[in-house]
């Protein structure tokens, strides 16, 4: 049943121009970063003569793209998540889901998965785009896989948070703005206490956890952070929707 909800969500995303436009814009963005990354690689590397200054092309271009992905996603995801619940509330379509033999948890997890699958196509696209460097260079696929995994975790955290804000209001725009602010605050939280790496803000903030993936490391502590983050907001969303049924 979760799969059916996810399929419905995918169908809705592809039935409206919104889904296509966002996919196209993001792909255009990643393509541009790829191109400029390649360009500057040769400029920078031709300047660094000592071997210690040189880094591989995978890491150089990869860092460029995966680093920017976090920022691009924080813009794109609120626009997509606002559709998930807020817009259903606004157009009064929630009873369609609530009166079908589907539990609220299944509805939320299904919606979450639908959007995650949609955005995973971008992760796959980035992976394939970077793989084309293998034609002339010998690239580090492990590094790409670690980053792709990290990006998927980051996206799921973003989507979960966006879904929660989407469940709070029946005004899609407000939910988009709120989740954008929340995402931005969570990403930037680490910056406020950058001088003190042991400060708890750094543990709560999203970006420091994502950055370890960009070194090509899959750290179980970071994986746990993202899984917990995602689960927390999904549970909160389920609670919120259930309270609709209880409080009316």
Identified binder of another protein from the candidate list 40, 91, 121, 131, rule CB under 8 A? 91
For another protein, which residue of 32, 36, 48, 93 counts as binding (CB under 8 A)?
A: 93
Closest C-alpha among 228, 163, 184, 208 to residue 73: 184
**Could you write out the DSSP letters of every residue in 43-108?**
HHHHH--SGGG---HHHHHHHHHHHHHHHHHHHHHHHHHHHHTHHHHHTT-HHHHHTSS--HHHHH
- Tokens coding 213: 């993936």
- Under the binding rule (CB under 8 A), the answer on residue 102 touching another protein is yes
Residue 111 Cβ vs another protein, minimum distance, rounded to whole Å: 13
Contact between 121 and another protein (CB under 8 A)? no
Nearer to another protein, 73 or 97 (CB): 97
- Cβ proximity to another protein: between 94 and 129 the closer is 94
Q: Does 94 bind another protein (CB under 8 A)?
A: yes
Taking CB under 8 A as the criterion, the residue among 47, 51, 101, 197 binding another protein is: 101
DSSP 142-205: HHHHHHHHHHHHHHHHHHHHHHHHHHH-S-HHHHHHHHHHHHHHHHHHHHHTTT-TTSHHHHH-
Site string for another protein, 33-72 (x = CB under 8 A): ----------------------------------------
Residues that bind another protein (CB under 8 A): 1, 4-5, 7-8, 11-12, 15-16, 91-103, 245-246, 248
């Amino acid at each position: 049943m979760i799969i059916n909800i996810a399929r419905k969500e995918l169908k809705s995303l592809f039935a409206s121009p919104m889904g296509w436009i966002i996919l196209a814009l993001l792909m255009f963005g990643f393509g541009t970063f790829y191109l400029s990354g390649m360009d500057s690689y040769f400029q920078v590397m031709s300047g660094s003569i000592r071997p210690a200054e040189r880094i591989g092309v995978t890491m150089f271009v990869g860092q460029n793209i995966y680093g920017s992905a976090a920022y691009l996603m924080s813009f794109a995801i609120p626009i997509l998540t606002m559709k998930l619940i807020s817009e259903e509330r606004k157009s009064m379509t929630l009873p369609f889901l609530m009166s079908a033999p589907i539990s609220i948890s299944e509805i939320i997890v299904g919606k979450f998965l639908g959007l995650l699958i949609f955005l995973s196509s971008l992760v796959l696209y980035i992976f394939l785009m970077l793989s084309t460097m293998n034609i002339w260079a010998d690239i580090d696929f492990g590094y790409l896989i670690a980053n792709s995994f990290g990006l998927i975790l980051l996206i799921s955290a973003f989507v979960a948070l966006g879904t929660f804000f989407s469940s709070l209001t029946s005004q899609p725009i407000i939910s988009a703005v709120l989740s954008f602010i929340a995402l931005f605050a969570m990403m930037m939280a680490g910056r406020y206490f950058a001088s003190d790496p042991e400060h708890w803000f750094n543990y709560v903030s999203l970006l420091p956890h994502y950055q370890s993936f960009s070194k090509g490391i899959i750290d179980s502590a970071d994986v746990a952070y993202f899984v917990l983050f995602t689960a927390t907001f999904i549970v909160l969303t389920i609670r919120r929707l259930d309270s609709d049924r209880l409080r009316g």
